[in-house]
């Protein structure tokens, strides 16, 4: 009886979702965006693909790589692959059980893997701040050099309902963009302190191509302005968050190049394409199965092990590669959308994001008078 009730509820949810604008936006715009990216890849002049570089190693240390959202899909597969490349991999995830499971899974396939897990909720500034402190403590306790060589901002969600974080932000914006921005900002001193070239890799998505105009004021970046709509615009917010991540990647690349003291921190955006992971967990399961089936028939769906190739390309690119967008594996890069290269918009977003960062800092660590 319970089973039948559950099935009816699932079917009802699926029907409601099919009747929404968001479903059609995902089905049509996202498929077109993905096809557009592959067409551009095919039409692009054959660029010289480069061999991936082994990670540069600080003396007496393994290079340290931090991966957020390392307990599932692309993050988990990338953590395994980078442990094989000789990185000491710091796994960041929101569930301690899943972190433990992931550590056991990776070590069972790679006995030499050097791993460390931290429970962090990327959508919470307080949690990111605690992580920064614990990470520095761990580096000092283990007598490792006080630096990080690679940060992969991979954690992401496709939420289908509006949820607020403790800071009052939309959960999807907080996870996919604001958290990544705050983490990069807090960890930047450790990346700059690296004695060998270091890197930030931001995992974005082809869906950013579905955004044709955008606001980057506080109300929009925190997701509050999307609230005014009758229905939660899940597809729009997801695309928007990924475009924010791209604008941020290019702006940070630009700003690091302007810094007085020369250092080698590169910033790369990467897009895995369509990959069969748990990203659609909030979409009614019958619909996500159909979506994956259609993508498979079109030859556009990859396994997480294949899908990570553009992430690993970005992680192991030559140190001079920065401010680029990897797509399609085999070391290939592509132009992201015209809007993502709008320098004025990027600067405006930077200012808004820094304001939000400061605001969160003041709430969490009020200045004592």
- Which of 26, 116, 121, 178 is the binder for ligand NAP (CB under 6 A)? 121
- Which of 55, 156, 223, 284 is the binder for ligand NAP (CB under 6 A)? 156
Q: Which stretch binds ligand NAP (CB under 6 A): 103-111, 150-158, 316-324, 351-359?
A: 150-158
- Which of 155, 178, 186, 315 is the binder for ligand NAP (CB under 6 A)? 155
- Which of 205, 266, 353, 360 is the binder for ligand NAP (CB under 6 A)? 205
Task: Look at strands 274-275 and 88-93 and give their pairing.
Answer: unpaired
Q: Which stretch binds ligand NAP (CB under 6 A): 63-71, 82-90, 108-116, 348-356?
A: 63-71
Q: How far apart are CA 181 and CA 248, in angstroms?
A: 8
Q: Considering beta carbons, is residue 121 or 348 the nearer one to ligand NAP?
A: 121
Q: How many residues does the chain have?
A: 369
Q: How far apart are CA 241 and CA 353, in angstroms?
A: 12
Contacts (CB under 6 A) with ligand NAP, residues 164-203: 175, 203
Q: List the 324-327 sheet strands across, edge first.
A: 114-119, 88-93, 64-68, 150-153, 198-203, 265-271, 324-327
Rounded least distance, CB 79 to ligand NAP, Å: 10
Q: Which stretch binds ligand NAP (CB under 6 A): 18-26, 42-50, 115-123, 144-152?
A: 115-123
Q: How far apart are CA 220 and CA 239, in angstroms?
A: 13
Rounded least distance, CB 179 to ligand NAP, Å: 7
- Nearest CA to 92 among 125, 126, 115, 69? 69
Q: Which stretch binds ligand NAP (CB under 6 A): 140-148, 151-159, 282-290, 333-341?
A: 151-159
- Nearest CA to 65 among 191, 186, 213? 191
- # residues near ligand NAP by CB under 6 A: 28
Contact (CB, 8 A) for 154 and 68? yes
Q: Does residue 278 bind ligand NAP (CB under 6 A)?
A: yes
DSSP assignment of 4-25 equals HHHHHHHHHHHHHHHTSHHHHI
Angle, helices 96-109 vs 73-84, to 10°: value is 40
Site string for ligand NAP, 17-56 (x = CB under 6 A): ----------------------------------------
Q: Considering beta carbons, is residue 157 or 317 the nearer one to ligand NAP?
A: 157
Q: Considering beta carbons, is residue 194 or 310 the nearer one to ligand NAP?
A: 310
Alpha-carbon torsion angle 2, 3, 4, 5, nearest 10: 50
Q: Which stretch binds ligand NAP (CB under 6 A): 154-162, 183-191, 334-342, 351-359?
A: 154-162
Rounded least distance, CB 160 to ligand NAP, Å: 13
Q: How far apart are CA 70 and CA 73, in angstroms?
A: 8
Q: What angle do CA 358, 189, 272 make, to 5 degrees?
A: 85
Q: Does residue 100 bind ligand NAP (CB under 6 A)?
A: no
Q: Can you give the binding site for ligand NAP, defined by CB under 6 A? A: 68-69, 71-75, 93-95, 98, 120-123, 154-157, 175, 203, 205, 272, 274-275, 277-279
């Amino acid at each position: 009886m319970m089973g039948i009730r559950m099935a009816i509820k699932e079917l009802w949810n699926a029907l409601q979702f099919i009747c929404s604008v968001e479903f059609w936006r995902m089905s049509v715009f996202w498929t077109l965006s993905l096809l557009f990216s592959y067409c551009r890849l095919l039409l692009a002049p054959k660029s010289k693909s480069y061999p991936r570089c082994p990670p540069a190693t600080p003396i007496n240390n393994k290079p340290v790589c931090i991966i957020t959202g390392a307990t599932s899909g692309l993050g988990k597969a990338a953590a395994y692959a980078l442990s094989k490349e000789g990185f000491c991999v710091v796994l960041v995830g929101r569930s301690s059980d899943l972190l433990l499971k992931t550590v056991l899974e990776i070590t069972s396939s790679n006995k030499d893997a050097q791993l460390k897990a931290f429970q962090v909720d990327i959508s919470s500034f307080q949690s990111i701040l605690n992580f920064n402190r614990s990470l520095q403590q761990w580096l000092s306790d283990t007598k490792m050099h006080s630096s990080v060589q690679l940060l992969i901002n991979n954690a992401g969600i496709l939420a289908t309902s509006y949820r607020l974080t403790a800071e009052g932000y939309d959960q999807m914006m907080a996870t996919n963009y604001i958290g990544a921005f705050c983490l990069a900002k807090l960890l930047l001193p450790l990346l700059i302190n690296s004695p060998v070239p270091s890197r930030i890799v931001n995992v974005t998505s082809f869906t950013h191509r579905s955004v044709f105009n955008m606001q980057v004021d506080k109300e929009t970046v925190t997701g509050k302005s999307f609230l005014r709509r009758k229905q939660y615009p899940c597809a729009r917010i997801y695309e928007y968050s990924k475009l924010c991540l791209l604008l941020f990647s290019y702006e940070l690349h630009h700003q690091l190049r302007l810094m007085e003291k020369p250092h080698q921190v590169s910033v790369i955006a990467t897009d895995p394409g369509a990959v069969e992971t748990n990203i659609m967990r909030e979409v009614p399961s019958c619909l996500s199965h159909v979506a994956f089936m259609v993508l498979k028939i079109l030859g556009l769906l990859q396994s997480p092990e294949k899908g990570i190739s553009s992430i690993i390309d970005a992680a192991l690119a030559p140190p001079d590669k920065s401010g680029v967008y990897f797509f399609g594996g085999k070391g290939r890069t592509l132009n992201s959308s015209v809007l993502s290269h709008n320098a004025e918009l990027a600067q405006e977003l930077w200012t808004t994001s820094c304001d939000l960062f400061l605001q969160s800092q003041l709430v969490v660590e009020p200045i004592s008078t």
